[in-house]
Amino acid sequence: MSLPPLVEPADELTVDEVRRYSRHLIIPDVGMDGQKRLKNAKVLVVGAGGLGSPALLYLAAAGVGTLGIVDFDEVDESNLQRQVIHGQSDIGKPKAESARESIEEINPYVTVNLHKEHLDSDNALEIFRGYDLVLDGTDNFATRYLVNDACVLLDMPYVWGSIFRFDGQVSVFWNEYGPQYRDLYPEPPPAGMVPSCAEGGVLGVLCASIGSIMVNEAIKVITGIGDPLVGRLMIYDALEMTWKTVKVRKDPEGEPITELIDYEAFCGAVSGEAEEAAQGATITAGELKDMMDNGEDFYLVDVREKNEYEIVSIPGAVLIPKGEFLNGEAFGKLPQDKRVVLHCKSGGRSAEALAALKGAGFGDAVHVGGGVLSWIHQVDPSLPTY
């Protein structure tokens, strides 16, 4: 559907700005009016990671006058495969600061606001109020529902993108004119069911494909041109090289959003069963090392996927992916006369596997809190991380 422009035009463009944006200005649908609207726009990007990187670069290049960046993380070497706004010299630097420096190189006429804090129910509304439009490229469900609910409460539109391995999704949610994220996904998936990019991986260039579409939609919403993806979900398969569009409608029985909630609890980092199983059955990486040094007889199981195991593994660990614990196939592979010790990358998946294991009668089983990452940090920092 055609929608009115989100932002009023700025008073004027300078001579330098006219030169810079000339290829926009000669497009009839954009023209001087559209470019002035971009100049006057305030856009908040949640996350300066895989999707935030190309989005911020192209928003800046397009001439969006004010960009906000919400990110409290630091640049890690594993980010550079896809987070193109950062470089080798930025490793260890706050992502928000690194992103600002790249934006300033692209377009000195853009004002950049940094929000180097964790977005939560206490600060989301205050941060969002300073902007016209939000772009959400985060990879966790708690933040996605938080962004949606905050935008609904503030009557703000936002562009949403999602990526995983070779697949991507994009939509525009604007409760005033169409559906919201909860109409597409009324409830989060069961805890541990959907892996994050850190667990399942993502093709680096997919970030550019989806991120650029997100910016395209932002420009359309800001300037009032074209047909934004309001009420439509665009799905991209990079392996098959196909795009398809699915209609999304408002849920007439959807619960109204009246306040922000505890989104970590709503989405559940791990299931209640996993939390219960891990109580009193969690050891540290240092304790695992002591068990090895003392010659204790136990069976160490890595519940990650094969590709992860090939990158880095704890010495002596046997690979049995979490899925085999959930469907029961793993139980026949485990010894009955040894204590079973589980681990994953950071502890979430091993807790889920531990719950299944205890349910099958392995009462003395434990898991390693913090997983491989803790092992690297506490025991062997020479190992690669990912």
CB 51 within 8 A of CB 207: yes
Strands (E), the chain: 42-46, 66-70, 111-115, 133-136, 158-164, 167-173, 232-237, 242-247, 282-283, 298-302, 318-319, 339-343, 366-368
Residues with Cβ within 8 Å of 18's Cβ and at least 6 positions away in sequence, in order, are 25
- Catalytic residue, chosen from 151, 207, 267, 344, is 344
Residues in the chain: 386
| Known catalytic residue at 344 | yes
CB 224 within 8 A of CB 68: no
Give the residue from 297, 361, 302 showing the smallest Cα distance to 332: 361
- Catalytic residue, chosen from 151, 197, 207, 267, is 197
CB 147 within 8 A of CB 52: no
Residues with Cβ within 8 Å of 129's Cβ and at least 6 positions away in sequence, in order, are 154
CB 114 within 8 A of CB 97: yes
Q: Give 345's DSSP letter.
A: S
Strands (E), 34-84: 42-46, 66-70
Give the residue from 249, 214, 45, 234 showing the smallest Cα distance to 143: 45
Indicate which residues carry an active-site annotation: 197, 344
